[in-house]
Amino acid sequence: MKLELGYFHVRDIVFGEKTFFANGVLTINKEEALNTVFEDENITSADLFLAKKGDPIRITPVKDAVEPRCKVSGGVMFPGVTNKLMQAGQGRTHVLKGSCVLAVGKHWGGFQDGLIDMSGPGANQTMFSELLNICLVADTSEEFEKKQQQKKNKALRWAAMRLAEYLGNCVKDLEPEELEVCEHLPLDKRSEEVNKLPRVVYVLQLQSQMLENGYNALVYGWDSNRMVPTLMNPNELLDGAIVSGSFMPSSSKISTYQHVNNATLKRLMEEHGKAINFIGVIMSNLNVQLEEKQRSAYFVRQLATSLGAEGAIVSEEGYGNPDSDFILVINELEDAGIKVVGITNECTGRDGKSQPLVDLSDKANAIVSTGNVSQFIQLPPMEIVIGELESLARDGNSGGWEGSVLEDGSIKMENNGMFCADSSTGNHYKTVVEY
């Protein structure tokens, strides 16, 4: 499977009379862009705002992030979701690199929504402070969701995908500045030299604990709660086969943007043929009942051993109950003689001294921590708020509480509510320091 990713490096974004890209500047016709948003009759109001690195801007409640892209050949964007079901991971896709569409609530936030600061100490918590963000701030007529702590956020998330594709289409017929070719050959087509290298598999555990449709991560539009672990070509992930859900506390979420820019996956592909023989991705899920967790762990083990894996990276989206899925998979792989490195965040309390994971094992002896969800954060006031600051405390954001927002606009919160602050794909620049 061969995928070409054509990059157009965005250095600035402005509003103008038409949507086009030239000389590193993305110009957006706001009215035309919003027409794609209002294709959903549930959206009652919407506007676009720009947020750039270093701006005195705070954004909340953030629901998802999507990279502006378009499919040039070999498929469609977001197959099975906003477009018809087709194979992802082949042909050519053009990318407006450095830009990002953020789905932001005009009023109503919830447990799964987060906060981004574009400057100040909060900017160090999330990679999205480094990007040029097009903030889609919208409200809907979905009364049943407004006072629900747990929201599907479908109208806004789908609108962000449509908007991202609309923006991406402005470079569809242009020649990219940079072309990355991703080719993942079948095992029997690889050279003898590659097949002599250690075989490594990437196990990605998607958040999928909600039994009702509409909350979980989607695989080709299919609710990941309804799937069993499946072998996927890495190109499929890099080409939009996975769409983020709306369930996890915000810091632990893997956004749709991060799925197509999965830094761990990209590094594995980079090392393929040099240090490792990268077999592929075992797409797994996170369950509720113990029997379901064990079943998925067995499936992961069977796939990994059948492929002859000698090493594995197991990456967990979330924490708490999913820790048991994470440890079960590590135990099964280690019992099969496969060496495992785990990637997860931890919940060690504000003092950092509590048990990091709900479930532990002596076999899980190589774990990369992406951060502590309970880290206490104090943020100064910000000149501009995009969205609604009150939602942090009022609507049950997982990092906020009554009293989180002070009269001067400063904030007391936990890392839990920082958007994708410690997601497990490696798309951040935190450093672990041992004292």
Task: Check residue 148 and give its pLDDT.
Answer: 82
Report if residue 163 sits inside a domain: yes
Q: Which two tokens stand for residue 121?
A: 């100490």
In this structure, of 57-61, 76-80, 392-396, the range with the lowest mean pLDDT score is 392-396
Share of the chain above pLDDT 90, in %: 88
Residues pairing with 126 in the sheet: none
Residue 435 confidence (pLDDT) above 70: no
Average pLDDT over residues 291-298: 96
- With residue 15 as reference, give the H or E element that holds it: strand 12-15
Task: Check residue 144 and give its pLDDT.
Answer: 81
In this structure, of 179-183, 262-266, 358-362, 427-431, the range with the lowest mean pLDDT score is 427-431
Report if residue 67 sits inside a domain: yes
| Residues 162 and 36 sit within 8 Å (Cβ to Cβ) | yes
- Identify residue 416 by its one-letter amino acid code: N
Q: Which two tokens stand for residue 174?
A: 């242009």
The CA distances from residue 202 to 140, 280, 283, in Å, are: 38, 6, 8
Between CA 255 and CA 233 the distance in angstroms is 19
Report if residue 64 sits inside a domain: yes
Residue of 245 and 143 predicted with greater confidence? 245
Report if residue 91 sits inside a domain: yes
- Kindly report each contact of residues 13-21 with a partner whose C-beta sits within 8 Å and lies 24 or more positions away, as own/partner: 13/50, 13/52, 13/99, 13/132, 13/134, 14/50, 15/48, 15/50, 19/166, 19/167, 19/170, 20/170, 21/96, 21/170, 21/171, 21/174
pTM: 0.96
Report if residue 54 sits inside a domain: yes
pLDDT digits (tens, 9 = 90+) for 147-194: 788 899 999 999 999 999 999 999 999 999 999 999 999 999 999 999
Between CA 366 and CA 377 the distance in angstroms is 28
Residue 81 confidence (pLDDT) above 70: yes
Task: Check residue 63 and give its pLDDT.
Answer: 97
Task: Check residue 265 and give its pLDDT.
Answer: 97
| Residues 58 and 418 sit within 8 Å (Cβ to Cβ) | no
Task: Check residue 433 and give its pLDDT.
Answer: 66
Report if residue 216 sits inside a domain: yes
| Count of beta carbons in the 10 Å neighbourhood of residue 20 | 14
256-295 burial: b if 16+ Cβ within 10 Å, else e: bbbbbbbebbbebbeebeeebbbbbbbbbbbbeeeebbbe
pLDDT digits (tens, 9 = 90+) for 405-417: 999 999 999 999 9
Look at the chain and report how many structural domains it folds into.
1
- Domain assignment of residue 206, given as a range: 2-417
Between CA 260 and CA 96 the distance in angstroms is 13
Report the mean per-residue pLDDT for the chain: 95
SS3 category, 130:
helix
Task: Check residue 248 and give its pLDDT.
Answer: 85
SS3 category, 86:
coil
Report if residue 424 sits inside a domain: no
Report if residue 340 sits inside a domain: yes
Task: Check residue 434 and give its pLDDT.
Answer: 66
Task: Check residue 295 and give its pLDDT.
Answer: 96
